[in-house]
Copies of this chain bind each other. A is one copy, B any other.
């Protein structure tokens, strides 16, 4: 059975594994105060062009999201997110469990439109009973989005500008950032970092084993952030797990290696996309990255399911199944070829 259901099915990239093995016996302090973490911090700051940024490590994305958001908001404030956003749709109410409301904005192709963001800000600002409303104070967006799409530079700049003009922090969840950087040159890592207050640089889905880095440029957010991490159970005793891996992911100080981990996955995903279209299976959304959502008939899906695992996502509006096929840095070339061949074979199925 070939596994295409998600992008976290393998361990870590061989180079990261070697680094873990090489450093395993060294005795270092805990809580991310070790030299590996410090080196990783320097390299990430360099690659992102943010020399003064705070860099914090986590073992997972939901933990990162809820720690950052609960540290950023005060009671009575709310985080805005696309209705398809991870914190709105797939985290069991993990943000709300820290006491904060997530306000859903409409999403088009997985993305928030500047006009909808502006409307939400204006609705609050022009209300004559503000004390009855949660105040928009942070915008959460994903790059790439949960549906695989990407904001253009123009789109992200417009959103960033609105956030700054209306006093919202901008937090970008880059759980799959390597794939986004690989798929488009419109926005570099440094561009993205410069447009937001905090950015999660995903490791777990991009070559690492249970490791994410959070880059914070906003000075106020950095204050006492270690304590915020511990409070949410997110401070890693042996921070070296993340430090060693991120020092390797950003070993070149430019992000080139990190980005490179997304390149083939994106190419493979686009080949799958073309094959789906060719076989009459409709892609859902514009995804130029490593996740492909398609609407597929029951018969075709049954055929593919025999050898290829995908993730079911419910029924599409046209009654067909909505499913996701993911590639990853670890996807084997032969698996892709096999899936391409199988997709072609579905052509004659109803």
Q: A interface vs B, CB < 8 Å?
A: 3, 5-6, 8-12, 14, 17, 20-21, 23-31, 59-67, 70-71, 74-78, 90-94, 96-102, 104, 123, 126-128, 130-135, 204-205, 209-210, 224, 226-238, 240-241, 312, 314, 330
Chain B residue at smallest Cβ distance from A2:
B27
Q: What residues of B have a CB within 8 angstroms of the CB of A126 in the complex?
A: 314
A75-B9 Cα distance, complex, nearest whole Å:
28
Q: Are A75 and B228 in contact (CB under 8 A)?
A: yes
Query: What's the minimum C-beta distance from A132 to chain B, rounded to whole angstroms?
Result: 5
A130-B228 Cα distance, complex, nearest whole Å:
11
Q: Are A102 and B101 in contact (CB under 8 A)?
A: yes
Q: What residues of B have a CB within 8 angstroms of the CB of A233 in the complex?
A: 60, 62-67, 94, 232-234
Q: What residues of B have a CB within 8 angstroms of the CB of A134 in the complex?
A: 92-93, 96
Q: What residues of B have a CB within 8 angstroms of the CB of A76 in the complex?
A: 92-93, 224, 227-228, 230-231
Q: What residues of B have a CB within 8 angstroms of the CB of A3 in the complex?
A: 27, 29
> This chain: how many copies in the complex?
4
Interface pairs (8), CB distance under 8 Å: A3-B27, A14-B24, A59-B59, A62-B230, A97-B232, A131-B230, A232-B232, A232-B233
Q: What residues of B have a CB within 8 angstroms of the CB of A23 in the complex?
A: 11
Q: Are A238 and B226 in contact (CB under 8 A)?
A: no
A235-B100 Cα distance, complex, nearest whole Å:
19
Q: What residues of B have a CB within 8 angstroms of the CB of A14 in the complex?
A: 24
A134-B132 Cα distance, complex, nearest whole Å:
25
Given A128-B312, A209-B241: A71 and B75 interface contact (C-beta under 8 Å): yes
Query: What's the minimum C-beta distance from A21 to chain B, rounded to whole angstroms?
Result: 6
A97-B65 Cα distance, complex, nearest whole Å:
16
Query: What's the minimum C-beta distance from A126 to chain B, rounded to whole angstroms?
Result: 8
Chain B residue at smallest Cβ distance from A31:
B131
Chain B residue at smallest Cβ distance from A96:
B101
Chain B residue at smallest Cβ distance from A64:
B233
Q: Are A235 and B60 in contact (CB under 8 A)?
A: yes
Query: What's the minimum C-beta distance from A143 to chain B, rounded to whole angstroms?
Result: 18
Q: What residues of B have a CB within 8 angstroms of the CB of A102 in the complex?
A: 96, 101
A237-B11 Cα distance, complex, nearest whole Å:
11
Q: Are B97 and A8 in contact (CB under 8 A)?
A: no
Q: Are B231 and A92 in contact (CB under 8 A)?
A: yes
CB < 8 Å: which of B61, B67, B226 contacts A237? B61
